[in-house]
Structure 1
């Protein structure tokens, strides 16, 4: 079972093998591939830093505990009809995305995210809405 915060549910949709460090990319790629290959993998929704935050590099500002990130987590979970403490399979999370999320939500919810400008998260939402699942990294 993986522990993930709300924000990373959206980040996984847009993930294309880029990240903050080699260790972070390796960790994110492993999780992404597991969810792509095994959509029944269980996810525990947590408040605050999760298993992806654990590999955030020590250099630079550690944003995983910023108030704005906590707010984004809450906004995403509320939008998807989910709550901290729930345990769901990735395929159940995908069902929530298909029911409650549209690509333009990324522009609003993730307005201050530096990765948003690449457009890959909106593409990821579109892929999920079309039933294609996570993209190959």
Structure 2
């Protein structure tokens, strides 16, 4: 079981092996691979720094407590009809993405995210809608 906050549910869809540090990338790649290969993995939904935040580098500003991050978490949880404290299979999260989110939603939901300019999250959502699941990250 992995603890994840709202916005990381969408970050994982677009993840392509980029990140804030080598340790962060290694951690996120491990989680991404696990979810890709074992979609029945349980996700415990939280409203605080989570499994991925644990490896955020301590060089510079730790944005995991920023107000806008909490707002993004809450918006995504609401949009996916999920609640903090729930324990949900990853495959059920993917199904909720299919039901409640389209790629163009990210322009509003993730408006201030520095990773949005790469366009990979929109592609990740399209892949989920097409039933492809998470892309392989090498």
Q: Which residue of 2 aligns with 1:91?
A: 91
1:5 aligns with 2:5: yes
Gaps of 5+ in 2: none
Counterparts of 2:126 and 2:7, CA distance in 1: 17
- Aligned pairs for 1:6-21 within 5 A: 6-21=6-21
- Could you tell me how far 1:107 is from its partner in structure 2? 1.1
Gaps of 5+ in 1: none
- Aligned pairs for 1:17-96 within 5 A: 17-96=17-96
Counterparts of 2:119 and 2:108, CA distance in 1: 13
TM-score, scaled to structure 1: 0.99
- Runs of 4+ in structure 1 deviating by more than 3 angstroms, as ranges, are none
Provide the secondary structure at the position in 1 that maps to 2:3: strand
Aligned-CA RMSD value: 0.4
- Could you tell me how far 1:105 is from its partner in structure 2? 1.0
* Equivalences, count: 137
TM-score, scaled to structure 2: 0.98
